[in-house]
Amino acid sequence: MTPTVSPPRPFGRTLCAMITPFTDTGSLDLDGAGLLADRLVADGCDGLVLSGTTGESPTTTDAEKAALIAAVREAVAGRASIVAGVGTFDTRHTVELALAAQKAGADGLLVVGPYYSRPPQEALEAHFREVADACGLPLMLYDIPERTGIRIEPETVVRLAGHPRIVAVKDCSHDFLGAQKVLARTELAYYAGCDEHNLALYAVGAAGYVSTVANVAPRRLRAVLDAFDAGDTARAARLQRGVTPLIESMMSSGLPGAVTAKALLAALGLPAGPVRPPLRPAGREAADGLLRAYESLTAP
């Protein structure tokens, strides 16, 4: 049986880590962003995460980040939450981005661990608290040690859960035991950040997911959680297994998710544009393989 009490979902349940569309010349495509955001919400996303890893945040300017929030906010018109990625390796800059995101109309903040600097846990905790103290928006911790070089340890997350504006976690740690420890000891909304874990974490009490694959298959991913909520766990498992080849093609092929998502979106005639250097577009063979994996999906 599914749980009778739903977990907290401050930003929704089915969130897309949205790509940042660019024009053919590499400038920000705000019209394309609005069109894509509208399509994602219409196809089942109740939250959009902007300027995260998939959104190529290291290569967009502060002004572009704010403009993207405003354009997407206008496009979705209150139909979905907007969570803005503001994390950097500089606490002061992160606070500036948080305040700018609030002014631009974001509903929440995604704050990644400070990469490169690799502060110890005490300093890491202080970093998140300073950002949360400086801004009135609720905050989602983003734990992705493969990219940052540092883990937000479960004990640190538990302590941070006491802050009134730290309300959620996007988990890309691949530590299923650690996730369950946090779920057991806090009221944080826990979101799977790796698509292969969407159903597994949901089954033990997670709020939902923040998905890169949702850029191209939002209905299919939502169907997994819908089936679970309806009590049809066998169907949920079958649907999750069915989307696994696409997840593998997009997220475990040696190419970043921003590259694979944009290649597929372009093939589907949806707003995407090029990636910004140092990323490079998918080659023809990789793009063809991604399209085959997408076309192999059956209806949910």
How confident is the model over 204-251, as pLDDT tens digits?
A: 999 999 999 999 999 999 999 999 999 999 999 999 999 999 999 999
Question: What's the DSSP call for residue 29?
Answer: -
| pLDDT attached to residue 216 | 98
pLDDT at 258: 98
Point out the catalytic residue in the list 103, 115, 142, 181. Answer: 142
Q: What pLDDT is stored for residue 177 in this prediction?
A: 97
Residue 168: enclosing H or E segment and its boundaries?
A: strand 166-171
Cα–Cα distances (Å) from 150 to 89, 144, 153, 263, in that order, read 11, 8, 9, 30
Q: Is 202 a catalytic residue?
A: no
Beta strands in 39-144 (DSSP E): 47-50, 81-85, 108-112, 139-143
CATH number at residue 210: 3.20.20.70
Tell me what pLDDT residue 6 has. Answer: 76
For the stretch 82-131, pLDDT in tens is 999 999 999 999 999 999 999 999 999 999 999 999 999 999 999 999 99
Please state the domain count of the chain: 1
Domain presence at residue 160? yes
Supply the DSSP symbol for 274: P
- pLDDT at residue number 5: 64
At 29-67, the pLDDT tens digits run: 999 999 999 999 999 999 999 999 999 999 999 999 999
pLDDT at 208: 98
pLDDT for 43 equals 97
| 8 A C-beta contact, residue 198 and residue 227 | no
Q: Quick check: 3 pLDDT over 80?
A: no
Instruction: Give me the residue label for tokens 């085959």.
Output: 292
Whether 104 maps to a domain, the answer reads yes
Annotated catalytic residue 170: yes
Calculate what percentage of the chain has a pLDDT beyond 90. 95
**256: nearest Cα among 241, 271, 275, 284:** 275
* Percent of residues, the chain, with pLDDT higher than 70: 98
Residue numbers of the domain that contains 72: 14-233
| pLDDT value, residue 7 | 81
Tell me which amino acid residue 229 is.
D
Residue 162 has pLDDT above 70, yes or no: yes
Mean pLDDT, residues 16-25 taken together: 97
Q: What is the mean pLDDT of residues 175-193?
A: 97
pLDDT of residue 272: 98
Is there a domain that residue 122 lies in? yes
Is the bond preceding 277 in cis, omega lying within 30 degrees of 0? Answer: no
pLDDT of residue 8: 85
Residue at 265 is within a domain:
no
Please state the rounded mean pLDDT for residues 181-203: 98
Q: Does residue 199 belong to any structural domain of this protein?
A: yes
170, 190, 191, 202: the catalytic one is 170
- Domain-located, residue 246: no
Residue 113 lies in a domain: yes
Residue 287: per-residue pLDDT: 96
Residues 48 and 40: their CA atoms lie apart, in Å, by 8
**What is the model's pLDDT at position 2?**
46
> Can you tell me the mean pLDDT for 8-13?
95
In a domain, 273, yes or no: no
Average pLDDT, the chain: 96
